[in-house]
Amino acid sequence: MKTFLVPAVFAAALSTVAPAEAAECGSVSIAEMKWASAGIAASFDKIILEKGYGCSVTIVDGDTLPTFASMNEKGLPDIASEYWINSVRSLLDQAVNTGRLVQGAEILADGAVEGWWIPKFIADAHPDIRSVEDALKHPELFPAEDDPSKGAVYNCPADWSCQISTTNLFKALAADKKGFELVETGSPERLDASIARAFDNKIGWLGYYWAPTAILGKYDMTRLSFGVGHNKNEWDRCTAVAGCVRPELNSYPVSRAFTLITRSFASRAGPVTAYLKTRKWDNATINQVLAWQDENRESNEDAAIYFLRNYESLWTKWVPVDVAEKVKASL
């Protein structure tokens, strides 16, 4: 199958007015990162590229640093559909500036967010609670399961970096002096179970969580403000450091997630690259898809098909009409 270069001037125009056959993208490798939303993103792109653009797609295992190094140095895999860039920001800038990599759409339009959350039914019933410090005034609303006389803040799972930052923020807020205890959940499954029990019993819950996730698609939660912006210097000095003696109040950083594309692939597949520079979704949308996947115990491919069948008005904006029709006919 032959390939050819598409001049940059024509790439955007081809994506909207020319048939998808104008670019034969050939064999394509897509890195599937290890977290749930990235798995769906990789499968979603595989379907669009295969059914809409006639590509032959292979999904390969991905991980943050090894995938970046391989794309940057070896030109493979061709695409990382959802790549969280915070840990490689300066290296990525260099790779883009020197022409080795192309940065596509910010696939998570809201960014990947972390924070302390409460059930929306608690937030609605207590409109005075808008910040973490507001919540800490009411230990009675967030009773600990082992000792209801105390409030509970549920920690991030063990051995995750967020366990350290959440512990330090609990300390910075002097939450123990306000009637709260920090509950070690141990695993993501136990953390999820604590939220499920709170909603089943209609009682308050306060603790660490992140988005996009299935839990936030299933349960309506409100993220509370820490009342300060993210201070990277303080984060690196103390917030993210185990055993820091005097942590200061801080906010979690927003992790930005983009699609990364190798220059060699972008050069030979202009219309596909135009799609990859356009396709993005918000956390509310992908949370709902993740919740459906979790409840039905379906694969990433099945979740991607669910997305295509249920969010047609969204994804058809990202591709030319002929591509959309081919994808729809394949479902």
Kindly state whether residue 45 falls inside one of the protein's structural domains.
yes
Kindly state whether residue 218 falls inside one of the protein's structural domains.
yes
Alpha carbon dihedral 221, 228, 257, 91, in 10-degree steps, equals: -160
Contact 117, 221 (CB under 8 A): yes
Kindly state whether residue 251 falls inside one of the protein's structural domains.
no
From CA 23, how far away is CA 170, in angstroms rounded?
Answer: 54
CATH of the domain at 177: 3.40.190.100
Sign of the dihedral through C-alpha 269, 271, 274, 278:
negative
Residues 117 and 235 in one domain: yes
What pLDDT does residue 72 have? 94
Residues 103 and 139 in one domain: no
- Which pTM does this prediction carry? 0.78
Average pLDDT score over residue span 37-62:
95
Residue 13 has pLDDT above 70, yes or no: no
99-119 residues labelled b (16+ CB within 10 A) or e (exposed): ebbbbbbebbebbbbbbbbbb
Kindly state whether residue 292 falls inside one of the protein's structural domains.
yes
Residues 311 and 299 in one domain: yes
Residues 129 and 216 in one domain: yes
Question: 197: how many CB neighbours lie within 10 A of its CB?
Answer: 12
CATH of the domain at 101: 3.40.190.10
Average pLDDT score over residue span 33-60:
94
2-33 residues labelled b (16+ CB within 10 A) or e (exposed): eeeebeeeebeebbeebebebbebeebbbbbb
Residue 65 has pLDDT above 90, yes or no: no
257-304 residue pLDDT tens: 999 999 999 998 889 999 999 999 999 999 999 999 999 999 999 999
Kindly state whether residue 309 falls inside one of the protein's structural domains.
yes
Residue 14 has pLDDT above 70, yes or no: no
Kindly state whether residue 231 falls inside one of the protein's structural domains.
yes
| Alpha helix ranges (H) inside 75-131 | 89-97, 120-125
Last residue of a domain, one of 239, 274, 306: 239
| Confidence class for position 219, pLDDT limits 50, 70, 90 | very high
The Cα-based distances of 297 to 214, 245, 288, 302 in angstroms read 11, 43, 14, 10
Average pLDDT score over residue span 225-250:
94
What pLDDT does residue 16 have? 39
Kindly state whether residue 1 falls inside one of the protein's structural domains.
no
Residues 50 and 146 in one domain: no
Describe the chain by its helix, strand, coil percentages, rounded to 5. Answer: 50, 15, 35
Last residue of a domain, one of 239, 270, 294: 239
From CA 215, how far away is CA 196, in angstroms rounded?
Answer: 9
Average pLDDT score over residue span 1-10:
34
| Confidence class for position 35, pLDDT limits 50, 70, 90 | confident
Residue 36 has pLDDT above 90, yes or no: no
Helix (H) or strand (E) holding 286: helix 283-296
Q: Nearest CA to 235 among 248, 254, 223?
A: 248
Residues 129 and 234 in one domain: yes
% of the chain at pLDDT higher than 90: 79
Residues 37 and 134 in one domain: no
Q: Nearest CA to 82 among 41, 112, 30?
A: 41
Average pLDDT score over residue span 195-208:
97
Alpha carbon dihedral 312, 316, 322, 325, in 10-degree steps, equals: 0
Domain count, the chain: 2
pLDDT, the chain, mean = 90
Residue 30 has pLDDT above 70, yes or no: yes
Average pLDDT score over residue span 91-119:
94
| Confidence class for position 2, pLDDT limits 50, 70, 90 | very low
What pLDDT does residue 34 have? 83
Long-range residue pairs from 190-193, CB within 8 A, at least 24 positions apart, any chain: 190/157, 191/154, 191/156, 191/157
| Confidence class for position 18, pLDDT limits 50, 70, 90 | very low
Average pLDDT score over residue span 249-258:
92
Last residue of a domain, one of 239, 268, 294: 239
Domain that residue 101 falls in: 8-110+256-330
Residues 69 and 124 in one domain: no
Residues 96 and 119 in one domain: no
Average pLDDT score over residue span 15-29:
59
106-145 residue pLDDT tens: 999 988 899 999 999 999 999 999 999 999 999 999 999 9
Residues 73 and 97 in one domain: yes
Residues 123 and 74 in one domain: no
Kindly state whether residue 170 falls inside one of the protein's structural domains.
yes
Residues 318 and 278 in one domain: yes
Residue 59 has pLDDT above 60, yes or no: yes
Tell which wins on pLDDT, 126 or 88: 126
What pLDDT does residue 129 have? 97
